[in-house]
Amino acid sequence: SEQHLRHVEKDVLIPKIMREKARERCSEQVQDFTKCCKESGMLMVVKCRKENSALKECLTSYYTDPAFYEECKMEYLKEREEFRKTGIPTKKRLQKLPTSM
C-alpha cells in the first residue's frame, strides 16, 4: 500500500504541490499580473484583464494536465517515503501534516 493515497493527499497535498510548481512555471505571467496590479491600483480589475487571462490560462493548462498531476504525485510519494524512512521532513509542506489523518 506504499502507493495508496489518502483523501487528504489526493485532494489537498498533491494539488498544493501542483499549485506551487505551476506558479513557478508560470512565473512570467505571475510577474506581469503582479506588476499590472501594482501599477493600476483600484482599477486593476479593468486594466489587468489581459494579464489575468494569460495567468489563468497558463495555470489551468498545468492543473488539467494528467501528466503534470502524475509528476507531482510521484514527487509527493517520494517525499512521503523519505519521511517514513528517516522521520525527517524533506520540505516544509511535510512538516504541516496533521497526525490525525
Query: 31-78 pLDDT, tens per residue?
Result: 999 999 999 988 998 999 999 999 999 999 999 999 999 999 999 999
Query: With 80 as the cut, is the pLDDT of residue 96 above it?
Result: no
* Closest of 26, 1, 25, 16 to residue 73, by C-alpha: 16
pLDDT at 69: 96
Query: With 80 as the cut, is the pLDDT of residue 90 above it?
Result: no
Confidence band (pLDDT; 50, 70, 90) for 94?
Answer: very low
pLDDT at 33: 96
CA dihedral 85→90→95→96, nearest 10 degrees, is: -110
pLDDT at 92: 58
